[in-house]
Structure 1
Amino acid sequence: MRRNTLKILMVEDDPGDVELARYELTRAGIACDVQQVDTEDAFVDALSRYRPDIVLGDFSLPDFDGMSALQIVQQTAPDTPFLFVSGTMGEERAIKALKQGAYDYVLKSNLARLPSAVERALQEAHQHQIRNKMEQALQAERNLLSAIFDTTGALGLVLDKEGRIVRFNQAAERTTGYTLSQVQGKYFWDVFFPAEEREPVRNQFINWHVQTQPLQYQSRWLTAGGERREILWLTTFLQEDHGSALNYVCSGIDITQWRQAEDRVHRLSNYDVLTGLPNRSLLRDRLEQGIARVERERRPGLLAVILIGVRGAIAVREGLGLQLSEDALVEASRRLAGLMQRDATLARFGDTSFAMVLHVPEQDQIAMAVQEIIDVLDLPYLVDGHEGVYLESNIGVTIYPNDGDSGDALLQAAEVAMHRAMENVLERFQFYTPALNGQVSHRLQMASHLRHAVRKKEMLLHYQPQVSLQSGKIVGVEALLRWQHPEKGMISPMEFIPLAEETGLIVPIGEWVLRTACEQAQRWHDLGVHGLTMAVNLSAKQFAQKNLAAMVRQALDDSGFSSHCLELELTESASMESPEKSIEVMKLLKAMGVRLSIDDFGTGYSNLNYLKRFPVDQLKIDRSFVRDVGTDADDLAIARAVIALARSLHLEVLAEGVEDLVQYEIMKENGCDKVQGYYFSTPLAVDECTRLLLARSTFS
């Protein structure tokens, strides 16, 4: 039994958490003396010097971790119980810790459970010590072991000091399917473990001799038929006169069915039988863990709870029967699972509803996630041969910390929002906070219209001339994307380009821009406008496409446009995101004869070592540095530096956003090659640009 004052060694780097643990124990009537350590050296020293009754360990510390502490305790003080007291343990880590010898784990968010966990661990440790003494008594009568070895119901295995099988009893033969003659003289890891596990098992065996007490461990052994059986082994050893191990005697229990039953109980308690998704209970636990993580790590962004009601499943049930309704719900769960990202949770919340919990950096991403859910669930279902089955869905959204400070509060709020969505004939989703609905609704509506615009070909190109400062002639044009909405009129690129990037529509749009620009440039060439460079912007997503070079080659071949007159503009940030990969892509494009330009130069964080390796032809000075170049000394210095850098790298320089004579003259005086901006021309529709190119190719 433990003494009146409990000696506790706590592996923790936060004194506040130590005091909270002490408080909960004292409040429960447990008198305790707590010593805190946060490094391995301090822990090892305290373990031998302080000799604690129990060890409490955080799972993860900056310079130490709980699993290492557990291993040290098992090796040096195996009778001392070890509990995890942590805020970061997930379900899988907790199971692993328990399997490796931890008595229990307590979340810091539920320290009220600590006193009972400590009492239970101490009691189990006391019982374990009693068992150890009994095993020591059994070891003293090892001669009796030989007499009962072959008749016992437990699995019996005797190994020599090298790990070779010496004896193998009848119970072991029945369980594994091997006979003694088949395994005798062989290393047990070569017989009972697959190839990839043999070396780790062998390394574990090498350390058996350091055990001063019988070793209890659990492992999965291969049978002769290839089945894995879960065996709980108790291993002791017979000693030679000088104390070294002579033989290892292993007594085992086949707990495969117990483990399977335990796993089934766990699964039934935490997972939905129909879909295999976490159920409401597990969802609540994970949501609480997510909230605790946000608070603990001070993570930026928002935690969103999205409740998805698939009430169309009720109509399917009434019309086609329960089985087909369940089939449709399983398919809906698969579609939703396909949208999941790392750290997100998808669960079955109710009979016809699902819940999704995800962490997002910005509120706008919640809107995009909601749109993806609506899109994927709106696709028709094929249910037992019935085509064209649709499941109507409604969505409610809550945000932590705005709408609640606990999992239950957030889920209740999400249900309220979902029911609002079901009652609203105009909107299929609702935020719990009504003020968010208007702005998110507008964004989702714009995303929907943008998809429609791509399908209906509402996009068009305008072209802005680029003028040589040496000759005054128009030497190129830049293709600029425009959206002519049938109701809203011309929509600013500043509004729809970021949306296209977020939705991924920028990829098909960008391909259309490239093909259209090449076709138009070739038409101008046929009209007699020769040598004109066509500049086309590439988005970061396009630049990351594996088939980019093939797509460019196809656009050139289909249009007949010369690759030497095509100039692809890459943003500085896109090209520097993965420089080595960017260089390879650029080399493929350059091999075709395509010109390359770095757009918006100076706005990113270029590595000049990479820049000199980029096979580019031109740098574009961003308009933000050109705008005030006549009045701001810093902008003038930046413009001059970019021009000087380009000269040293033998690159051309184009200044964009030139809107007045002062800017024009400064760029010309400082050696800029080309300019583009309202001083010469606004972006022009194709007919206007054609007339300009045919009538006036020189600016004075």
Structure 2
Amino acid sequence: MPPWTETADWLKTDSGAFLAAGRMPLGTTPWTDQETRARLVAMARWILLAIIGAYGLFAGGILSVSAYRVFLTQAQLAFLAGAVASVAAYSLVLQQGWFGVRGFRYSDHAQILLDLFFITVLIHFSGGPSSWFWPAYLIATMEAAFLLPRPREVWAVGAIGGAMHGLMLAGHYLRLLPPVAMPFTSADLGANPLYLCLIWSWAAILNAAVAFITARLMGVIRWEHRALKAREAQLQQFVDTANDLIVCLTPEGRFLYANPLWVRTLGYGLEDLETTTFFDLIDLDHRARLLKEFGRAMKEARGTTIEADVLARSGTRISVEGNLAPTLKDGRPGMVWCICRDVTARRQAEEQLFRMAHFDGLTGLPNRASLLEKLNGAQEAARRSGRSLAVLFVDLDRFKLINDTLGHAVGDELLRQAAQRMKTAIRESDTVSRIGGDEFIVTLNDVQDPKEASALAGRLLRPLARPFHIGGQEIFVTASVGISLFPEDGEGGEALVKKADSAMYHAKSRGRNNYQFYHPGMDQDAERRLVLSTGLRHALEAGEFRVLYQPKVEVDTGRMTAIEALVRWEHPDLGLLPPSEFIPLAEETGLILPIGEWVLREACSQGARWQAQGLRPMRIGVNLSGYQLQQAGMAATVRRILEETELDPQWLELEITETVVMQNPALAVAVLDEVKALGIHVSIDDFGTGYSSLAQLKRFSVSTLKIDKSFIRDLEHNPTDAAIATAIIAMGACLNLQVVAEGVETEGQLAFLRERQCHGAQGFLFGHAVPAEAIASVLEQEDRESQIVMVT
């Protein structure tokens, strides 16, 4: 049996359960007013019959042993018993509603008339004029006031009762009804008109008074009932149409009522709530707290607020907040009203605002604000544990180039994939944040030794160097990492990030794709970068750039075979600056394009001037930035410069780093094919650092491979570097490519290269970068020596 049927009676009279008075909770069907009254009258009639029967048995028993004996004849007893049985019969019929009697319009009138008739019969057989049962007419009149809605009908019943009593008395007076002898009274009373008139008048007046009074009282009661029903209907309509979720619960949490909005929102039908408790619908994360609040509200008999997630039938979570209000019965909570509102949309908006304020929209990583907040907390934890904290500033190399050439969609996807790779490379206790652009911060907690930060930096660089597959393209990118430590490098999130940023720029100046720890000297470097960034915009117009030339020699003979043009910046305050100090800034600001074009034009013009002086033609190598390589119309720009300077294309060599080529191999192949078609030589610079494969290398139209100096520097002592250099030389020979080793500084290195049959070399062993006049002198000297050799 559902819990609401067990509590229906007290719910109807409880002032807090106004809904249940107008409608049984959760779909149970209430009686109509007519049915309720008919049942109550039938119940009262049964009680009255029981009382009369009990009294009759009692009186009969007393009289049977008295001197009076039983005064009714057998026929009279039989008739009286039949009358009682008739009353019981029609009471049962009316109570059970058999044969559709309850649907008969005048059923209430009929049962009252029957009651009056059988009351008259009872009075007749209990002594007639001397009967003690004439007040039963008053009961029938009150019954009429209870059943019949209109006062005049009640008054009519009172009049009919008086008339029946009068007719019965008249029947006795006229001897139409057989007299029934009663003990204690005179048999002549029925023949005394004065007595009959007085007894009838008294009974009629009392019956009329009762009819008037009870009709008035029932009228007031009905009016108050209608007013209560109207208020309840209004409240019912309010609750049913309210924008709040409203339920009524037992102290055990079972449902007594749920408004339509609750049912619609959660998707549970009325039948589902019969076997479900309120707590079953609460999300597990909030259930224990809500049970505690509910129990406290029951114990203290006072309201409380709630805030929880409710599970809908579909499985979605509905966030609600509101109040629990217990209703007291006999001083104890009898039921609980829960009135709450759906705040799911607001919570989602709050969560979205929180994520927007604390997380990066592209990668989903914590943003700068969240990073600084966590950094401050991590510093406190490190201070308590006595351990260190490392901040790694990760910047993707040449990311702007990818964005500008392949589009922002590709760049965004690259950032997402890079973020995912970094997340998989770190420990669970560490955090990756994106603070803008291609800049990421990795917070390494609980560091015992700086070597842990070094190891993490290595774990970050390796996966980032692997190719990214985006939109059918294979893209290569590297990263530069700067590391600052707490407390060694200071305190405060902003300070640690700034120092890691300085270290990151130092890593870029060291050739990118490496990591550097912060040291105080880098602060001066940061100020220096600011000065350089400001002055770089005016340097080209002011003619502050210079081109120096470094020879490339043949390993076997030591004879100069080519020249590399190297740009320098003659800063008015800082002196002559190498390209590592300003080329990264030029790439960031976009000034690399006009600077690169100026260097190319200057080198081609110088080559043409040397040939015009009668010097031996010498191929001049010019470094090509990744921004220049991926600039639209780059090959056309090179052709125009060659035409303007009148330099034969065969004496120009464009040097492109392997890293730049591998960032977008497909585009590199197309551009290099165009350049090669002009008759220009192409070399891959810094070979061995860009993760290219033989399959990719054979696609490029290149003539020369330049072994990166990092493999030459220690090849005399490092077997790994020696093996890499040997493999590159052998690979070049197999692919019919010239191989030039960079950074040769010792005779031992030269001997190693000569033994492996490397074609060319370049480095301080053969000469530093010098002005064009010095190169002309070397060429003139070599030409004279060549002529002497030929003569001898």
TM-score by length of 1: 0.45
- Larger helix share, 1 or 2: 2
- Larger strand share, 1 or 2: 1
TM-score by length of 2: 0.40
